[in-house]
Structure 1
């Protein structure tokens, strides 16, 4: 194996890894294809719930609250699912989870169509959200296992996963909306549940690429991934990123409708998401010399800078351009965050750690959309764009103030460059 650059030998050029080489990893496509099927419904659930409840109840407020209940349950319970996957194995957790999800979504559909009391919708939405399979975190955990002997590939793998996430968040709502309008709102959720079960079971069947189980020693108490201060810091930072997503969705829609061009709201948000996808693709192709800690601060700072101009845009064209600039900082921030958290926890807690970051985005999205909606009702669409600035700004302050926590305990004594990144070695991750 070729020598890798280290902090003791900084003159060697960092390794550049392309996506083609990544996808040639033995066994990669066998879990990536079913994972994509299972991840697509992730972005369909919230919109599907809103459209169903709105169709059967007629209240935007109730529809949004039911969807927020599912999102909150997913953010809080998802990390516990990831923790169980680390201990018991991914298949042992995925199979019952996807079945519970299908039953819960079915119950929600039946209650809504039957015009059951509103409180019963919340009871069904909570387990529906809590049982969303954490496929993205499980895929990243598989990459860590597959690339243990090729750490230079890991940043590219996380970039690939970020682009996949962005793609599903663009396609998922479009698919849910199309099915709801051409067939029926309930059909969108039926499709979501069917894809979740199909993709989840196929993914669970790929046992050869799954990470090994990490059972605790007898009598030993296993700490959560949140025991790592660095993980907690990144969770807070990802809450800020989630608030950008949520506030942008609501504020762009309101801005377009206020301008009499409501049909263009999807285009403007698509430009924002497209900027993130483009940045993610390019990010994974660069052999970075800067440490991931430095890159995290730089990309997050650019995110705050991009969000700070949104509220002042005079028309949709200007808003689309500002959204593009803002979106360019999203994927690099997420990719670097996942790269950092992988080095902050031990092998037996990686899926849980990834799930905490994903859940933080979902929770931030729910809070951001709710607060932005209230501000828009009070003073118009432009005020909603203050939420991304506030959420991302708070995250940046935390990162700058507590940036030393991102190095991880003991990182200085056993550091190698991961494609030019100064980070704890994969073989000896710093335990939180």
Structure 2
């Protein structure tokens, strides 16, 4: 059980961490494109081809490409430093998005759009994982220093920031595409990537240090995926991506079925708001349970909520279930990201975070495709089965392999909440 009362919420304390604002502000700008890319591609390609199927396929190629290449970006960042990876990365991404935009406006064949979508997705800057790695470097355990109790607060703060990004980004991209020009969304995405990414890369004082490895050791070159707990978390985070993708498509289909397409934004906004509110609360609570237990409890609640989505036939009921689903996601996300700090050595944390982010992107790409086909063939209700299946499979994986999520150092001091320290068990 968790204590629901704490003397200090912790976010003010967290934001007073020396040097935090130097990477938070440019990091926030640089991660906006991640939320704008998919919707920007869909709106532009649908405008030029007249096909949502083609638009969804190009967006899916981008998502899969990002999922495959993001961990390699993280591994390179751990090995050579974030700045060395970001500088060429943002330039390649800006050029790739510009090429994709030009090809779409020139009515290029679909294969050409696919070809441009691959480097577009592969070069998406992994700013979110890099910010998390910076928090871990500042607040995590180190020789002669215990992990700060603000570490779980930082994980909660990042979850809220991510969700806030996914509220603002799509709205901004949609407004630009519909109110200015169909290509304006992708153009803004490329511009934010370039400016925000370069400013973020310039904050080299707060980036995690590149740790030298003694001759004859393999830690520096070992992949974070070689750690069993990271593999379990990567599979589990596929389920979260499936929820995001399945909800986005199914809510759109539901809104069109009832003849009220404008309600889609309201329903998805309620879903996202639930995630934000839950993330804020998770950072303020002084938890007595460990992150592994919170991860499993969050997934259990998410699976139970998802089991009712397919049967919801009213806006009011779907809004309520969407809110509950959003409330369940943050504990799962925060629990998983918090576990990384104890499972993964500092030399591989950026890569570990990108495996989780890539899993979310891959799950989202798969869910968009599957839920879209189901909704086209059998209606919106069948599309809601995708989040259910994804969460149930992820939960089963977590329960069956929960022993792989044990802390690397049993009995080490971990965060209970703000202003508290206590040696706790894994659960």
Q: What is the CA distance between 1:121 and its match in structure 2?
A: 0.7
Contact 1:230 1:408 in 2 (8 A): no
- Encode CA deviations 1:64-116: one digit per residue, 9 max, x unaligned: 11110111111110110011001111111100000000110111111111122
Q: 1:195 aligned to 2:192?
A: yes
- Encode CA deviations 1:291-329: one digit per residue, 9 max, x unaligned: 111111111111111111111112111100111011100
Determine the structure 1 residue equivalent to 2:367: 368
Determine the structure 2 residue equivalent to 1:291: 290
Determine the C-alpha separation between the residues in 2 that align with 1:189 and 1:290: 43
Determine the structure 1 residue equivalent to 2:312: 313
Residue of 135, 139, 147 corresponding to 2:131: 139
Q: What is the CA distance between 1:194 and its match in structure 2?
A: 0.3
Q: What is the CA distance between 1:117 and its match in structure 2?
A: 2.1
Determine the structure 2 residue equivalent to 1:6: none
Determine the C-alpha separation between the residues in 1 that align with 2:259 and 2:234: 38
Contact 1:14 1:289 in 2 (8 A): no
Q: How does 1:275-290 map to 2 (within 5 A)?
A: 275-290=274-289
- Encode CA deviations 1:384-421: one digit per residue, 9 max, x unaligned: 11111100000000111110110045x33x52232267
Determine the structure 1 residue equivalent to 2:386: 387
Q: What is the CA distance between 1:37 and its match in structure 2?
A: 0.4
Q: How does 1:51-200 map to 2 (within 5 A)?
A: 51-148=43-140, 149=145, 150-200=147-197
Determine the structure 1 residue equivalent to 2:209: 212
Q: What is the CA distance between 1:182 and its match in structure 2?
A: 0.9
Determine the structure 1 residue equivalent to 2:267: 268
SS at structure 1 position matched to 2:267: helix
Contact 1:16 1:287 in 2 (8 A): no
Q: 1:239 aligned to 2:238?
A: yes
Q: 1:42 aligned to 2:34?
A: yes
Unaligned residue ranges in structure 2 (runs of 5+): none
Once the two structures are overlaid, the 10-residue window that deviates more, 141-150 or 56-65, is 141-150
Once the two structures are overlaid, the 10-residue window that deviates more, 144-153 or 33-42, is 144-153
- Paired residues in the alignment total 411
- Give the TM-score, by structure 1 length: 0.92
SS at structure 2 position matched to 1:418: strand
SS at structure 1 position matched to 2:209: coil
SS at structure 2 position matched to 1:284: helix
SS at structure 1 position matched to 2:284: coil
- Give the TM-score, by structure 2 length: 0.93
- Encode CA deviations 1:256-281: one digit per residue, 9 max, x unaligned: 11011111011001001100100000
Q: What is the CA distance between 1:383 and its match in structure 2?
A: 0.9
Determine the structure 1 residue equivalent to 2:330: 331
Once the two structures are overlaid, the 10-residue window that deviates more, 149-158 or 133-142, is 149-158
Contact 1:292 1:421 in 2 (8 A): no
Determine the C-alpha separation between the residues in 2 that align with 1:124 and 1:296: 37
Determine the structure 2 residue equivalent to 1:226: 225
Determine the C-alpha separation between the residues in 1 that align with 2:297 and 2:192: 38
Contact 1:16 1:286 in 2 (8 A): no
Q: How does 1:388-403 map to 2 (within 5 A)?
A: 388-403=387-402
SS at structure 2 position matched to 1:417: strand
Determine the C-alpha separation between the residues in 2 that align with 1:214 and 1:138: 16
Once the two structures are overlaid, the 10-residue window that deviates more, 70-79 or 107-116, is 107-116
Determine the C-alpha separation between the residues in 1 that align with 2:400 and 2:361: 24
SS at structure 2 position matched to 1:329: helix
Q: 1:404 aligned to 2:396?
A: no
Determine the C-alpha separation between the residues in 1 that align with 2:374 and 2:101: 31
SS at structure 2 position matched to 1:151: coil
In the TM superposition, structure 1's runs of 4+ consecutive aligned residues that sit over 6 Å from their partners are: none
Q: What is the CA distance between 1:187 and its match in structure 2?
A: 1.3
Determine the structure 2 residue equivalent to 1:5: none
Contact 1:54 1:63 in 2 (8 A): yes
